[in-house]
């Protein structure tokens, strides 16, 4: 598949087959993905791959977070939200957590965030090429101590995103994008 087709066909998929994604495949994709633009070659990123029983760390953090987010609901519905968050997380075969150093200089921090996002985009396209499905997620749970401690995320590091990874249980159709002519201003 050519690059244009990869970009246009990639979708966020959240329903996966119940089979593991070999860690070696994810590592191989990351080896290529890190060849992203990176100002001053700071390479601020690192990754935590969570699979198997390790998913319980994230699932439990999500359960607590979902229940806290549902504080205005009755106890049964709060617990229900927590259980749903837990189950959804455990249904994902692999979760890749992208982490970056938080440089105290705002300009460098912004450049590092963009560079890390470029690595993630590269990873998503490489995964698509390999027949893997992905979805990029960010949750409030990623900022809570149990999540951070469980995954070894140190003070001074920022969770950029999580990438859910698995073999797709179904295909999804794309949603049309706004034509670029509506979002492009040319200054000559």
Give the chain's domains with CATH numbers. Answer: 3-182 (3.40.109.10)
146 touches 140 (CB < 8 A): no
Predicted confidence (pLDDT) per residue in 109-118, tens digit:
889 999 999 9
The DSSP call for residue 170 is: S
Nearest to 100 by CA among 81, 113, 83: 113
Place of tokens 């001074």: 156
pTM of the model: 0.91
90 touches 56 (CB < 8 A): yes
Nearest to 59 by CA among 80, 90, 84: 90
Predicted confidence (pLDDT) per residue in 34-80, tens digit:
999 988 888 999 999 999 999 999 999 999 999 998 999 899 999 99
Residue 4 in tokens: 């244009």
> Quick one: residue 135, left, alpha or beta (phi over 0 = left, psi -120 to 50 = alpha)?
beta
């Amino acid at each position: 598949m050519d690059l244009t087709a990869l970009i246009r066909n990639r979708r966020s998929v959240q329903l996966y087959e119940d089979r593991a994604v070999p860690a070696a495949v994810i590592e191989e994709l990351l080896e290529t993905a890190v060849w992203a633009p990176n100002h001053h070659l700071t390479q601020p990123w690192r990754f935590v791959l969570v699979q198997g029983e390790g998913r319980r760390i994230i699932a439990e953090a999500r359960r607590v977070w979902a229940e806290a987010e549902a504080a205005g609901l009755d106890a049964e519905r709060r617990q229900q939200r927590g259980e749903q968050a837990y189950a959804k997380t455990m249904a994902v075969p692999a979760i890749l957590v992208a982490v970056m150093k938080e440089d105290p200089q705002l300009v460098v921090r912004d450049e590092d965030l963009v560079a890390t996002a470029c690595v993630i985009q590269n990873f998503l396209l490489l995964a698509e090429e390999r027949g893997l499905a992905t979805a990029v997620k960010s949750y409030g749970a990623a900022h809570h101590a149990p999540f951070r401690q469980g995954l070894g995320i140190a003070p001074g590091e920022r969770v950029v995103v999580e990438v859910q990874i698995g073999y797709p249980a179904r295909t999804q159709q794309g949603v049309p994008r706004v034509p670029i002519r509506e979002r492009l201003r040319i200054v000559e």
